[in-house]
Homo-oligomer: A and B are copies of this chain.
Amino acid sequence: MKSMDPLPMLAIALPARGSRTLARSLHGQLLAAIRSGRLAPGLRLPATRALAGHLGISRNSVIAAYESLAAEGHVMARTGSGHYVADTPARAPARATPVPARARERRLNAAHRGLAAPDDMVDPPRAPFDFRLGVPDTAALPFDAWRRLSARALRSMARGVPGYVGPAGQPALRAAIAAHASLTRAVACTADDVLVTAGAQQAFDLLARVLVTPGKTVVAVEDPGYPPTRAAFAAAGAVIVPVPVDDDGLRVDLLPRDAHIVCVTPSHQFPLGCVLSAARRRALLAFARRRQAVVVEDDYDGEFRFEPRPLDALQTLDDDAAVSYVGTFSKSLFPALRLGYVIAPPWARAALMLARQRADWHGNLHAQDTLAAFIAEGHLARHVRRMRGVYGERRRVLLAGIARDLGRWLAPVPGCAGLHVGTRTIVDLDLARVVERARAAGVNVDRIGRYALGGDVADGLLFGYGAIEAAAIPRALATLKRALAQA
């Protein structure tokens, strides 16, 4: 532990001693490694002393080799910080040789050929007035508490570093989630029912793995709906059937008779924002019982409710073990945490655990331990309560502003929860152009049409209020009004 330099572990074979030969051999091998791209441009080479010690040769041999490389321009010496691989234009990395890319790509299965990296993988840059969907406001996160609990979890882990554990999640976190889901969403569960996942997306993925028979299983999804959910089921080979949505949520009466899985967002339909009515809830559960179907309830932002009337989870009404309830901390805390959960019926649990183990064994334990303590100490509940006030205020300002400024063009979809409001056009409009014009004027707003699956979906604008302060909403709407007036 004497050197602060990176470890010299480059695989190098040297001839019997003799400093000239050694230096020449070392030089040749490093050069080959640089030319082939094994040692990439910008990489710091091991310190001469460390490399000499590692190879069991004199430091002078290493210095001689480095100096030759530097003289040839393959390596740059920076005073006080060592030697770096140069970015020589002469270098022809192995990766750059022309390859018959098409032929190679045929090694992929049909579903994965010819893809470019999708463009919606990273959040787009913030706009001055930003109604983007699906992001919470993190300014008021109690990061001091998080930091303290994170450090505590790490100290505890250092005292007894865990090996591989079970895939269901840390017991303390499962218990904390069960209490949280019981209290905030009236979900019927105990810790044993909770499977911790890497965000809601992994819950959909695991459910798809254990429920879908490729090419056979029919999965009903909301249209318009949340694309990543259906992508997970489609990737598992499901037959996706879009089902219309109206102001009372999913049109349960239009479910295909052979639907084996129904994916639904009952508390706050994505993207419309409406609530699945009580009658539809009963009808959906009756359908599930009759057809032995499975309901996947995506409750992505149901913690944020703005009306006193109760809005229990669909799972609460289920007495037939048909509903798998999916929750996430991406909206109540922050997405980069990548923690969510599925509360599944007992018959699905062993299968889901096995699927999780095959997928990634189990999640990062430090994050799980931190979150468990954060919930147990009441920070999550307090943060949700505080943010309910913040979001409720934004929602009021937004709805009033829409009525005042945009009522000629748009009517809000009724709803009472979540982090965005949906509206529908009441006159003929090219909303794609409106969105473009608004963006040019500094307002980022989304539209329903982007989430349609090809059905006859009425378009409308979508107003997320996770990324915009109440005070900024009136000006944003005034700008949007001008964009609409030009349409």
Q: Could you list which residues of chain A lie within 8 angstroms of chain B, going by C-beta atoms?
A: 1, 4-13, 33, 36-41, 43-44, 46, 56, 93-95, 97, 99, 101, 103-110, 112-113, 115-118, 121-123, 134-135, 138, 141, 143, 146-147, 150-151, 154-155, 157-158, 161-167, 178-179, 182-191, 193, 197-199, 201-202, 205, 209-214, 217, 228, 231-232, 235, 237, 260, 292-294, 303, 308-312, 316, 319-321, 334-339, 345-351, 353-355, 357-367, 378, 381-382, 384-386
Partner of A154, one of B116, B143, B182: B143
Given contacts A7-B381, A38-B188, A147-B151, contact A338 B363 (CB under 8 A): yes
Partner of A37, one of B104, B154, B189, B210: B189
Chain B residues positioned under 8 Å from A345 (CB to CB):
104
Q: Measured between C-beta atoms, what is the minimum distance from A412 to chain B in Å?
A: 23
Chain B residues positioned under 8 Å from A116 (CB to CB):
350
A4–B104 touching, CB < 8 Å: no
B108–A359 touching, CB < 8 Å: no
B118–A260 touching, CB < 8 Å: no
B355–A118 touching, CB < 8 Å: no
Q: Measured between C-beta atoms, what is the minimum distance from A354 to chain B in Å?
A: 6
Apart from the given pairs A112-B210, A197-B360, 15 other A-B contacts in the complex at a CB distance below 8 Å = A5-B378, A7-B183, A9-B183, A13-B308, A13-B310, A33-B182, A33-B186, A41-B190, A112-B355, A116-B350, A134-B164, A143-B158, A201-B358, A235-B355, A338-B362
Partner of A311, one of B11, B93, B339, B358: B11
Bound CA span A358–B198, Å: 11
Chain B residues positioned under 8 Å from A107 (CB to CB):
211, 260, 292-294, 347-348
Write the chain B residue with the least CB distance to A213: B109
Partner of A205, one of B190, B349, B359: B359
B321–A99 touching, CB < 8 Å: yes
11 interchain pairs, CB-CB under 8 A: A11-B310, A13-B310, A40-B178, A101-B346, A103-B292, A107-B348, A108-B348, A121-B165, A121-B357, A201-B361, A235-B355
B112–A354 touching, CB < 8 Å: yes
Interface centre among A117, A339, A384 (most CB of B within 10 A): A117
A214–B188 touching, CB < 8 Å: no
B118–A7 touching, CB < 8 Å: no
Q: Measured between C-beta atoms, what is the minimum distance from A282 to chain B in Å?
A: 16
Copies in the complex: 2
Given contacts A7-B183, A163-B123, A210-B112, contact A146 B150 (CB under 8 A): no
Given contacts A101-B347, A109-B210, A165-B336, contact A184 B294 (CB under 8 A): no
Chain B residues positioned under 8 Å from A237 (CB to CB):
214
A190–B37 touching, CB < 8 Å: yes
Bound CA span A164–B228, Å: 13
A350–B117 touching, CB < 8 Å: yes
Write the chain B residue with the least CB distance to A208: B358
Given contacts A338-B360, A364-B364, A367-B367, contact A182 B38 (CB under 8 A): yes
Partner of A9, one of B11, B41, B367, B384: B384
Partner of A354, one of B117, B154, B164, B187: B117
Bound CA span A358–B9, Å: 36
A182–B310 touching, CB < 8 Å: no
Given contacts A104-B347, A141-B161, A166-B121, contact A115 B354 (CB under 8 A): yes
Write the chain B residue with the least CB distance to A210: B112
Given contacts A40-B178, A211-B109, contact A123 B190 (CB under 8 A): no
